[in-house]
């Protein structure tokens, strides 16, 4: 066909116009398609009838899906809901290991995941062991507190107990560029934290109160679920990140070891042995090389 290039060009132009006008009906959002596919049980280690389920908390903690058309993704809470929803129907699951490799995330998301895991453990009467692999800090450490025991790999990073509210001001830069902030607000504090202007002392006080309230709650949860001393808290409370050995000294974790140690503790708490270890994943997902069985 001599006119094929012209036809292709016309189709491309039509597609671009449709996208610009918001009239495109064909979506290539692979993430949306894949992220809600059913979970399948994958065998990690063969064993007896009793099972230990590995629940994965990986990457930044969120409530809903991170919209990305190139990589399938799902919010941490959304995924956990689906995983535990499947697990509740398998009466052979005797224990859970939470595999954690996360720097934390939003205050609300972290709290919801923590409570979801804690509620499941209490209602299903299934022991839970957290295993911090590479990183279990901030909100990710909060989630680990839902476990009966916490194990961390020797080279992992733990802690960072606290709350951060990032903020910058572009007011000085805008002045140099001759740009003025003309935001219109319904109240004097409506734009508190607006990056187009410097914060006033009153703005700072409001945001500091919020951070302090969330921080106090976080520290209270640490005190409730971990055998920390007042001396421990003096160090923990400054929000530092620490090695597994330091975290153990400060009673933030129970043991330093690898996945086998987490499995041993899960089986001990469940009163079983030689369990079959499984994980729920969708097609195409992998473990990232975490599991290494003899």
pLDDT digits (tens, 9 = 90+) for 82-100: 999 999 999 999 999 999 9
pLDDT digits (tens, 9 = 90+) for 271-293: 999 999 999 988 777 655 444 43
Q: What percent of the chain has pLDDT over 90?
A: 66
Q: For the chain, what is the domain count?
A: 2
Judged against a pLDDT cut of 60, whether residue 229 lies above it is answered with yes
Would you name the residues annotated as active-site residues? 138, 190
Q: What's the 3-state SS for the chain?
A: CCCHHHHHHHHHHHHHHHHHCCCCCCCCCHHHHHCCCCCEEEEEECCCCCEEEEEEEECCECCCCCCCCCCCCCCHHHHHHHHHHHHCCCCCEEEEEEEEEECCECHHHHHHHHHHHHHHHHHHCCCEEEEEEEEEECHHHHHHCCCCEEEECCCCEEECCCCCCCCCCCHHHHHHHCCCCCCCCCCCCCCCCCCCCCCCHHHHHHHHHHHHHHHHHHHHHHHHHCCCCHHHHHHHCCCCEEEHHHHHHCCCCCEECCHHHHHHHHHHHHCCCCCEEEEEECCCCCCCCCCCCC
pTM over 0.95: no
**Is 177 part of a structural domain of the chain?**
yes
Same domain membership, residue 166 and residue 155: no
Region of poorest pLDDT, from 23-37, 63-77, 141-155, 228-242: 23-37
Judged against a pLDDT cut of 90, whether residue 68 lies above it is answered with no
Same domain membership, residue 206 and residue 129: no
pLDDT at 65: 67
Same domain membership, residue 274 and residue 288: yes
**Is 31 part of a structural domain of the chain?**
no
Same domain membership, residue 83 and residue 138: yes
Region of poorest pLDDT, from 109-113, 145-149, 164-168: 164-168
Query: Any idea what the CATH number is for the domain that residue 291 is in?
Result: 3.90.226.10
pLDDT class of 167 with cuts at 50, 70, 90: confident
Same domain membership, residue 150 and residue 168: no
pLDDT at 199: 92
Same domain membership, residue 249 and residue 132: yes
**Is 21 part of a structural domain of the chain?**
no
**Is 26 part of a structural domain of the chain?**
no
**Which structural domain range is residue 60 located in?**
38-160+240-294
pLDDT at 38: 83
Same domain membership, residue 223 and residue 79: no
pLDDT class of 238 with cuts at 50, 70, 90: very high
Same domain membership, residue 135 and residue 50: yes
Judged against a pLDDT cut of 50, whether residue 54 lies above it is answered with yes
**Is 22 part of a structural domain of the chain?**
no
pLDDT class of 31 with cuts at 50, 70, 90: very low
Same domain membership, residue 273 and residue 222: no
Same domain membership, residue 102 and residue 205: no
């Amino acid at each position: 066909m001599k006119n094929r290039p012209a036809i292709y060009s016309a189709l491309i132009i039509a597609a671009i116009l449709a996208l610009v006008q918001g009239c495109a009906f064909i979506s290539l959002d692979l993430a949306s398609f894949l992220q809600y596919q059913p979970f399948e049980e994958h065998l990690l280690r063969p064993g007896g009838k009793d099972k230990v389920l590995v629940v994965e908390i990986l990457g930044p903690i969120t409530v809903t899906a991170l919209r990305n058309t190139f990589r399938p993704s799902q919010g941490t809470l959304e995924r956990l809901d689906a995983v535990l929803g499947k697990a509740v129907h398998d009466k052979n699951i005797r224990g859970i290991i939470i595999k954690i490799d996360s720097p934390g995330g939003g205050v609300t998301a972290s709290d919801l995941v923590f409570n979801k895991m804690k509620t499941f453990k209490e209602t299903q009467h299934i022991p839970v062991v957290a295993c911090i692999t590479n990183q279990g800090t901030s909100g990710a450490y909060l989630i680990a507190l839902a476990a009966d025991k916490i194990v961390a790999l020797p080279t992992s990073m733990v802690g960072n107990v606290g709350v951060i509210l990032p903020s910058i001001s572009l007011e000085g830069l805008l002045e140099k560029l001759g740009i003025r902030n003309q935001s219109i607000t319904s109240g004097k504090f409506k734009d508190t934290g607006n990056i187009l202007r410097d914060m006033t002392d009153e703005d700072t006080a409001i945001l500091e109160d919020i951070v302090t309230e969330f921080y106090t709650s976080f520290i209270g949860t640490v005190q409730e679920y971990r055998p920390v001393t007042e001396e421990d808290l003096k160090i923990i409370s400054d929000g530092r990140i620490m090695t597994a050995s330091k975290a153990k000294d400060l009673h933030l974790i129970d043991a330093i070891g690898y996945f086998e140690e987490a499995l041993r503790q899960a089986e001990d708490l469940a009163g079983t042995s030689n369990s079959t270890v499984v994980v729920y994943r969708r097609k195409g997902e992998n473990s990232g090389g975490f599991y290494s069985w003899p």
